[in-house]
């Protein structure tokens, strides 16, 4: 005799019933996973199945105890594409992205609910998966937040080259921004550590997010500031830059300044403080976290313009009396350095002033020996954990550091019509073997036209 409700022999023990129930649940879960995995390859996106598996992998890394329903949502969150064929290529106007994503999530929820219903999942369980999948793009509660984070990490780990190929660089930048900005800090750190094998993707990520995976300190304004201020080349170059900017400018309450690759804006702040305030400061940097810090730093300027962008793309008016380029020129790839100088020229008034602080080194060997000597010059009692790694990463970076010789830079600024007014070697001062190697502060005047 069989029990009509449990489908087990009448008189089965409680323990037997429990085990049988668990077993039938595992079987359902397995069947659902198999069905999803069979459907996903029907998607027009070749990466669909691998992506879904990676989302599940990251979900379980972020929370090894993630339950069965959350795991199902992870695997099935994009399942609608396998049924409808609708992808972001069908989104003609990117400003509609949020609506589009909402519709996509709702469609996926509908499809997975049907599968769960067929496999005998209960109403409450189906409702839960529905809610998780519907919210996978936006989060909202702890579990959908985890799903959203796992989705983004998996996207960065695997999908970007596919997306780029289908949608082009501009849309990919928007997508990168969307997928990154929605992440909680912990997940952002995981993404920042991803080493993109595809050079174009690495460049797009750098341009969009502005944080270099190969120098950790750029992911936090606090650690960046802490490390930089310990460096004798950096600290002395900033002090000299501020002093020279004050010496070569006048009428400060009416002065307009642009700070190229401003970091946390501390140079502009120091200068504005030292002259009792200025009229306008435009801060340009690619790193949103740094700019947030700059915004809060109470710079003494009647007007403050913040531009989070690749400096080469920044829209700037020809209104500046002064440009700061402080440890910035070497972050611009060598073949684009000319465009960078053009950008400085385009925002400086005729005969405007440029303060250029730079480190001139000719090759990787010189860089490694420079940063080694720099570390050794920091008094032992001032060394903080992470400083050595920061300097080593900076020396070795291939993605973010494009240092050139002083001869190269001097010639290039001259070619663009800049006139050098004065220059100072900052560090190392005891290096007679090569006087043009090291950190310098140079003062230039822009051409008269």
CB atoms within 10 A of CB 287: 22
Is 36 among the residues that bind ligand SAM (CB under 6 A)?
Answer: no
Residue 307 β-bridge partners:
284
SS3 content of the chain, % helix, strand, coil (to 5): 60, 15, 30
Closest CA to 356 of 392, 332, 387: 332
Nearer to ligand SAM, 109 or 284 (CB): 284
CB 312 within 8 A of CB 336: yes
CB atoms within 10 A of CB 42: 13
Is 395 among the residues that bind ligand SAM (CB under 6 A)?
Answer: no
**Least distance (Å) from ligand SAM to the CB of residue 218?**
6
Is 281 among the residues that bind ligand SAM (CB under 6 A)?
Answer: no
- Select the residue interacting with ligand SAM from 139, 145, 210, 352 (CB under 6 A): 210
Nearer to ligand SAM, 183 or 209 (CB): 209
Token readout for 372 is 């080694």
Is 72 among the residues that bind ligand SAM (CB under 6 A)?
Answer: no
282-311 binders of ligand SAM (CB under 6 A): 284-287, 290, 310-311
Is 328 among the residues that bind ligand SAM (CB under 6 A)?
Answer: yes
Residue 285 β-bridge partners:
308
For the chain, the residue count is: 449
Is 355 among the residues that bind ligand SAM (CB under 6 A)?
Answer: no
Is 267 among the residues that bind ligand SAM (CB under 6 A)?
Answer: yes
**Interface with ligand SAM by CB under 6 A: which range of 154-162, 183-191, 324-332, 384-392?**
324-332
What residue is closest to ligand SAM based on CB? 263
Is 413 among the residues that bind ligand SAM (CB under 6 A)?
Answer: no
- d(CA 69, CA 128) in angstroms, rounded, equals 7
**Least distance (Å) from ligand SAM to the CB of residue 18?**
57
CB 85 within 8 A of CB 61: no
**Least distance (Å) from ligand SAM to the CB of residue 286?**
4
**Least distance (Å) from ligand SAM to the CB of residue 172?**
17
Q: Are strands 301-308 and 256-260 parallel, antiparallel or unpaired?
A: unpaired
**Least distance (Å) from ligand SAM to the CB of residue 154?**
26
Residue 282 β-bridge partners:
258, 305
Is 262 among the residues that bind ligand SAM (CB under 6 A)?
Answer: yes
Is 257 among the residues that bind ligand SAM (CB under 6 A)?
Answer: no
- d(CA 102, CA 114) in angstroms, rounded, equals 19
**Interface with ligand SAM by CB under 6 A: which range of 103-111, 260-268, 343-351, 379-387?**
260-268
**Least distance (Å) from ligand SAM to the CB of residue 28?**
50
Contacts of 281 (CB under 8 A, 6+ apart): 256, 257, 258, 259, 265, 268, 272, 299, 301, 303, 304, 305
Residue numbers at the binding site for ligand SAM (CB under 6 A): 210, 261-263, 266-267, 284-287, 290, 310-311, 326-328, 331
């Amino acid at each position: 005799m069989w029990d009509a409700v449990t489908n087990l022999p009448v008189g089965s023990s409680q323990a037997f019933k429990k085990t049988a129930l668990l077993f039938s649940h595992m079987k359902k879960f397995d069947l659902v996973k198999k069905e999803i995995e069979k459907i996903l390859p029907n998607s027009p996106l070749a990466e669909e199945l691998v992506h879904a598996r990676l989302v599940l992998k990251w979900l379980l890394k972020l929370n090894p105890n993630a339950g069965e329903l959350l795991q199902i949502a992870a695997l099935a969150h994009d399942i609608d594409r396998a049924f409808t064929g609708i992808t972001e290529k069908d989104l003609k106007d990117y400003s509609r992205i949020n609506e589009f994503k909402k519709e996509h999530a709702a469609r996926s929820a509908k499809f997975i609910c049907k599968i769960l219903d067929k496999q005998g999942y209960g109403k409450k369980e189906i409702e839960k998966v529905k809610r998780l999948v519907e919210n996978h793009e936006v989060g909202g509660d702890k579990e959908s937040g985890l799903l959203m984070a796992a989705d983004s990490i998996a996207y960065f780990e695997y999908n970007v080259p596919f997306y780029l190929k289908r949608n082009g660089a501009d849309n990919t930048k928007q997508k990168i921004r969307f997928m990154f900005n929605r992440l909680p800090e912990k997940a952002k750190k995981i993404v920042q550590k991803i080493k993109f094998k595809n050079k174009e993707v690495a460049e797009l990520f750098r341009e969009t997010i502005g944080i270099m995976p190969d120098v950790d300190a750029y992911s936090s304004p606090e650690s960046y500031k802490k490390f930089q201020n310990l460096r004798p080349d950096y600290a002395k170059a900033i002090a000299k830059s501020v002093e020279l900017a004050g010496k070569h400018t006048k009428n400060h309450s009416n002065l307009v300044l642009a700070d190229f690759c401003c970091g946390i804006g501390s140079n502009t702040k120091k200068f504005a403080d030292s002259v009792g305030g200025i009229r306008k400061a435009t801060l340009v940097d690619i790193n949103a976290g740094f700019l947030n810090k700059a915004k809060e730093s109470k710079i003494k300027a009647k007007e403050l313009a913040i531009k989070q962008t690749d400096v080469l793309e920044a829209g700037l008016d020809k209104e500046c009396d002064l440009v700061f380029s402080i440890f910035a020129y070497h972050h611009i790839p060598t073949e684009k350095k000319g465009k960078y100088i053009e950008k400085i020229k385009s925002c400086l008034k005729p005969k405007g002033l440029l303060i250029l602080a730079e480190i001139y080194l000719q090759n990787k060997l010189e860089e490694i020996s420079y940063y080694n000597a720099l570390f050794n010059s920091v008094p032992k009692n001032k060394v903080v954990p992470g400083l050595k790694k920061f300097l080593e990463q900076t020396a070795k970076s291939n993605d973010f550091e494009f240092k050139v010789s002083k001869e190269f830079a001097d010639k290039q600024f001259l070619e663009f019509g800049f006139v050098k007014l004065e220059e100072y070697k900052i560090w190392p001062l005891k290096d007679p073997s090569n006087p043009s190697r090291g950190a310098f502060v140079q003062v230039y005047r822009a051409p008269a036209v």
